[in-house]
Amino acid sequence: MQHSPDHILRHVAFPVIQPTQCLPLRLVLALMLSVSPVGVADNQMPVATALDGKIFESQLGLKGEPLDVEDRLVFEDGQFVSEECERTCGYAKVEYWVRAQDDAIQMRAEVPCLHSGAVMYWRGTVRGDEIEGSFTWINKRWYWTFEKEFWFKGKLVQAGEP
């Protein structure tokens, strides 16, 4: 006589988990979620769903001065790159983080230079088809640290599917 899978499950004894046994499991799950490699924390959205496929034609400039450098800001496959900074200074494509806030998407990226110890910390906000923000360029040496603030502004020129 053949038994259905439902019939077999009715006769399997499942262990009863006591409330005191749940605490260690909850702690392990909380730890796993807090170190998630997807870049999700504090109301952040998964990296690949927010800006991927978008390219912004933008301009960069020293903070407090006119925008005077043409650039393309590219979000692709969970990576962000400033094409001008990559081309002229050797800055890498990096994972970026996003967070939805009201009608905007905020982005952050920590971009190291492949040729020196310099790092750029990008912070931007996308509203509709526009991006605006700033980045801090930091070059640390054993005898001094050089830091400059820049700003950028751009318009969407390509919107692909994530």
Q: What is the pLDDT of residues 114-156, one digit of tens each?
A: 888 899 999 999 999 999 999 999 998 888 888 999 999 999 9
Residue 161, pLDDT score:
59
Q: Can you tell me which residue has the tokens 């990008």?
A: 122
CA distance 7 to 117: 65
CA distances from 3 to 9, 10, 77, 85 (A): 10, 11, 48, 66
Q: What is the pLDDT of residues 15-59, one digit of tens each?
A: 444 444 444 444 433 444 333 333 344 454 443 467 999 999 999
For 53, phi then psi, to 5°, come to 90, -5
Domains and CATH numbers, the chain: 5-34 (no CATH), 50-159 (2.40.128)
The predicted model scores a pTM of 0.67
